Amino acid sequence: MKILLLGGTGEARELAQVLTPDFHVISSLAGRTTDAHVPAGEVRRGGFGGVDGLVQWLRDNPVDAVVDATHPFAAVMTEHAVEATRLVGVPLLVLRRPGWTETRGDEWHWVSSATAAARILPAVGSRAFLTIGRQGLGDFAGTGLWILARCVDPPEPAPSWCEVILDRGPFELAAELALLREHRIDVLVTKDSGGAQTSAKLVAARELGLPVVMIRRPALPAGAAVVESVDQVVNWLRAPRR
């Protein structure tokens, strides 16, 4: 079978590694991160050009199935994948890791967007640690707070209103605690990305008694078939097709 794997996540790389011996896997990377880990199998980089572009690519490069293992906040790509595969008639499965859940000792403030997070932030803290990536940082420029932002790649243009550190997970609890203490952080702002690689910051916030402003995931398109693990994707691909 020939599989188009919409990737860029740790799950996508794991899936490519598991599938490559038995499947022809084409991993598609959006190209936003400059040092993305290269998955096993064939790799293509760059966008498709919207729904029409993806439809044309699927017609020019027939595949047996498409697996969307993009980031939980890559809503536009998922919407395009659902629509394009429907138009072409190719099976689609969406792989989404489970989101994070609050536990005892957490003080989470759920919001729907980075704009909403910036709006409530001054009422929650005065020294904020942002781990939302470089997309959406501009929403926080007018908060008037001291802000430390952690990104994988440098924001463009470089913001003058906050400090930026560049780093990629996984992150250890001890390091996250040290970072929060060093910069006297009193509120964490993050996205409900889920997964273990970046969850240490939530444990650190809990241990230090810090509030968290948590941005909800965008809703998945109606009718999308969704699973939560690499094993479930493999089972779906190996299942007999009518």
Res 8: pLDDT: 87
- 3 state SS for 20-76: CCCCEEEEEECCCCCCCCCCCCEEEECCCCHHHHHHHHHHHCCCCEEEECCCCCCHH
Per-residue confidence (pLDDT) for residue 34, from 0 to 100: 53
Question: 28 and 92, same structural domain?
Answer: yes
Residue 208: inside a domain, yes or no? yes
CATH code (residue 116):
3.40.50.720
H or E element, residue 237: helix 230-238
pLDDT classification of 159: cutoffs 50, 70, 90: very high
Domain that holds residue 201: 108-215
CA distance 171 to 200: 6
**103 falls within a domain:** no
pLDDT exceeding 70 applies to what percent of the chain?
97
DSSP collapsed to 3 states, 187-218: EEEEECCCCCCCCHHHHHHHHHCCCEEEECCC
pLDDT higher than threshold 80 for residue 242: no
- In terms of domains, do 234 and 208 share one? no
Instruction: Say which amino acid occupies 80.
Output: H
One domain, residues 19 and 72: yes
Contact 186/127 with Cβ under 8 angstroms?
yes
Are 62 and 4 contacting, i.e. CB atoms less than 8 angstroms apart? no
- Kindly report the backbone phi and psi dihedral angles of residue 163, in degrees, each rounded to the nearest multiple of 5, phi listed first: -90, 140
What is the per-residue pLDDT for 32? 57
SS3 89: coil
**Mean per-residue pLDDT for 77-86?**
96
Q: What's the rounded mean pLDDT across residues 72-101?
A: 96
Judgement on whether residues 40 and 131 belong to the same structural domain of the protein? no
Span 76-95, average pLDDT: 97
Distance CA 109, CA 122 (A): 13
Task: Please check whether residues 8 and 68 belong to one and the same domain.
Answer: yes
| Three-class secondary structure of residue 180 per DSSP | helix
Whether pLDDT at 35 is above 60: no
User: Any long-range contacts for 82-86 (C-beta under 8 Å, 24+ apart)?
Assistant: 82/221, 82/223, 82/224, 83/51, 83/221, 84/48, 84/51, 84/54, 84/55, 84/58, 85/58
Q: Is residue 162, in this structure, part of any structural domain at all?
A: yes
6 and 72 housed in the same domain: yes
Q: How many domains does the chain have?
A: 2
209's torsion region: left (phi>0), alpha (psi -120 to 50) or beta? left
Residues 197, 123 share a domain? yes
> In this predicted structure, what is the pLDDT of residue 33?
55
Are 39 and 127 part of one and the same domain?
A: no
87 plus 177 within the same structural domain: no
Give the per-residue pLDDT at 37. Answer: 72
Mean of pLDDT over the chain: 94
Q: Are residues 8 and 91 in the same domain?
A: yes
Do 231 and 204 share a domain, yes or no? Answer: no
Please tell me whether residues 63 and 137 are part of one structural domain: no
